[in-house]
Amino acid sequence: MKRANLAVAIGILALLPLPRVASAQQPSSVAGQWDVTIRMPDKTTAERWTIQQKGKAVTATAKGEREMRATGSVDGAFMRVTVIDSDKQYKVRATVDGDAMDGSITYAPGKEYLWHAKRKK
């Protein structure tokens, strides 16, 4: 008897619709101008980033000692972009918290530095 009840219960559960689970969170808004600070062991570098955003896709211009382009994405509160500087590529990973972002920039294996940004009002 118990086996029959269990089989009926499993059959009923199999017919119920499954809840929809979003595969990713809504992207945080990162569009605008940002003052960026990169902390390295021997110096601190300042850049001005102008970020455009379409949904999850992000493009940016980073101006510091020279001008560089960046492309990437935002997934929920996480931004990941690749900065192109001539033949070099830098990876930025950051967490978005309103008008601030904190994360890191990787220049090469073993060369990862703190990266902070504050949106201009």
In a domain, 56, yes or no: yes
In a domain, 68, yes or no: yes
Is the per-residue pLDDT at 36 higher than 80? yes
In a domain, 12, yes or no: no
In a domain, 18, yes or no: no
Is the per-residue pLDDT at 18 higher than 80? no
In a domain, 61, yes or no: yes
In a domain, 66, yes or no: yes
pLDDT-derived band of residue 21, with 50, 70 and 90 as boundaries? very low
pLDDT digit string, tens, across residues 70-79: 999 999 999 9
Bridge-partner residues for 71, per DSSP? 59, 82
As a whole number, mean pLDDT of residues 51-62 equals 97
Looking at the structure of the chain, the number of domains it has is 1
31 versus 23: which is more confidently predicted?
31
Integer Cα distance of 10 and 91 in angstroms: 48
Enclosing domain of residue 110: 25-119
Whole-prediction pTM: 0.77
Integer Cα distance of 118 and 70 in angstroms: 17
Give yes or no for a contact between 92 and 24, defined as CB atoms under 8 angstroms apart.
no
